[in-house]
Chains A and B, each alone.
Chain A
Amino acid sequence: QVQLQESGPGLVKPSQTLSLTCTVSGGSISSGDYYWSWIRQPPGKGLEWIGYIYYSGSTYYNPSLKSRVTISVDTSKNQFSLKLSSVTAADTAVYYCARTSLTLLGYGMDVWGQGTTVTVSS
C-alpha cells in the first residue's frame, strides 16, 4: 500500500524559500502511471493545486505560482520536493503531497500525505 509523507520546516521567514519533501513508501515513484502533486490549503480556505512532476522530471505548475515554484524528483530516494521562493504570509498553509493517477483514475488524486503546516512569519 503506497503511503506519502511530507517533511520540512514548519516555520519560514518572509522573503525566504519554503522547501518540502515528500517520501513515497510502498511503491515506486518511477511508475509511469502517475504524476506526483503538491497541493496546499490556507487556514479556513479551499484546496489549491501547486504543481506536479512525472518521474522523468517533466513538470507542470499552477500559472499563478509558476514564477516562484520548483518541483523536483529524486528517483533514487523515492522522493519529490517542492521549493517556493519569496514567500509571504499568504503562503501560510497546510501543504499536501498526493499521487495523481493518469490512466487508471483519470487524473484523480488517490493517495495523499497527512499534510504539513507551514507558517510564514518573522
Chain B
Amino acid sequence: SQTIHQWPATLVQPVGSPLSLECTVEGTSNPNLYWYRQAAGRGLQLLFYSVGIGQISSEVPQNLSASRPQDRQFILSSKKLLLSDSGFYLCAWSRRRGGEAFFGQGTRLTVV
C-alpha cells in the first residue's frame, strides 16, 4: 500500500531563517506531487506541483520554492522566511492523469 510521510509536524522558525520541509511517498512510482497551504476561509491553495524529477510548476509568486530531487521526494524551501509564510502546509500525491490526491499529515509552520 502507498504511504506519504511529511515532516516535521510543527515548526517554529525566526524571520529570515531558511526552511526545508520534506515529503516522501512509498509504495508507488512516478506520482504527481503537490504542495498546498491551507488557511481558514481560503481552502487549499496550490503552491507547487510536479509531474517528474526536476519538473516543478509554481502556481503563485511567493517566497517559497520546491524541488524534486528523487521520484518520490518533494521538498518545500525558503531562503529567508517572512512572517506571512506562517501557515499549515500539506504535501499530497496522486497517480498520473487526474487521480485523487492523498495527503500527508501536514506541517504547522509559525514564523516569529
Same assembly? no
Q: List the interface of chain A (C-beta within 8 A of B).
A: none
